[in-house]
Amino acid sequence: MKYQISEIKNYMENWAREDLQLTWDNSGSQIEFKGETDSLVLGLDVTDKLINKAIEMNSKLIITHHPMFFGGEKSIIEGTYRGDNIIALIKNNISVFSYHTSMDIAEDGVNDSLFEKLNLKNKKTFTFEEEKAMGLIGELEKNYSLEELLNFLEEKLEVKKIKAYGRNKREIKKLAILGGSGADFISAAKNAGVDAYITGDVKYHDGQRAYEEDLLLIDVGHFYSEKIILPKIKKRLSEKFSDLDFYIEEESSFELDI
C-alpha cells in the first residue's frame, strides 16, 4: 500500500513540532515532492549510501535526524559529493525530511529515548537554550563505579569506544544526558549536581574544563547517542502507516571499522 508523502510529513511534524527547534536549526522539509511512497529510508545523515538504498528500493522518502541543508547551498555541481547527492534525489523524485533539535526536545524523542534506554528514573530537564529544555537528568537503579558504568553504556548503546574525562567518582548514580553534541553545557550539568554527564563530541579542552569544574564527563559518541531514535521513528510510523516498508542505517557512514 502507498501513502501520501504529505501524510507522513504531517504525522512527523505533529511529533517533532517546528516550534521546538532552535533558531539556528533547519528541521523539516529539505527536498519535498508531491506523491506517494510504499517505503522509506531512515538514517542520521543524508549520505550517498542512504540515497542509493532509496533508489534501490524505489522509495520516495528519506527521513533523517540531521538536516541536509544548514547554511543554504550556493551551487549544485555535478561531480562533487553534495552536488551528485542533490541531483540524484531530484532526478529520482525522492523527498527528504529531517527532524533535528525538534526531535531532540520532543516528547518520546532523542533524549527521552536515551533516558529510556539507560533505564533511568526520576526524570527532570536541564540545559536551557533559547528557553527550551534540552537535556535530561535521571538516576540509575543503583550506584555504579566508573568501570561498571562504562561497561553498562557500551552494552546499552552498542558503543565501540567510550572516553571519560574529568575526575573519577567512586559512586555514580545521578546522570545528566544530552544526545549529540553537548559539551557547551558542561557548566549546566555541573550546576545540576549530577555525578556524571553523558553526551558526545567532547574535545580535549572540554575534558580540561570538566576536570577544572570537577565533573565526570563521558563521551559515548555523537552517532551512538542519537541512533536510538531511528527504531523509535520506525515503531511510531509503523503503528500509523502499517504497510510501510523500512530500511534503517544501523552503522555510522563515517566511522571506519579497523
Nearest CA among 54, 59, 11 for reference residue 39? 59
Residues 6 or more apart whose CB falls under 8 angstroms from that of 177 comprise 111, 114, 115, 118, 120, 135, 136, 137, 138, 197, 198, 199, 225
- Tell me the average pLDDT across 212-224: 96
- Tell me the average pLDDT across 234-244: 97
The confidence score (pLDDT) of residue 157 equals: 96
Tens-digit pLDDT profile for residues 131-163: 787 899 999 999 999 999 999 999 999 998 899
Phi, then psi, of 221 in degrees rounded to 5: 95, 140
Tens-digit pLDDT profile for residues 177-205: 999 999 999 999 999 999 999 999 999 99
- Name the grid cell of 185: 553545557
- Tell me the average pLDDT across 198-221: 96
Which band of pLDDT confidence, cut at 50, 70 and 90, is reported for residue 176? very high
Measured CA to CA, the distance from residue 258 to residue 229 in angstroms comes to: 26
Residue 256 has pLDDT above 90, yes or no: no
- Tell me the average pLDDT across 215-223: 96
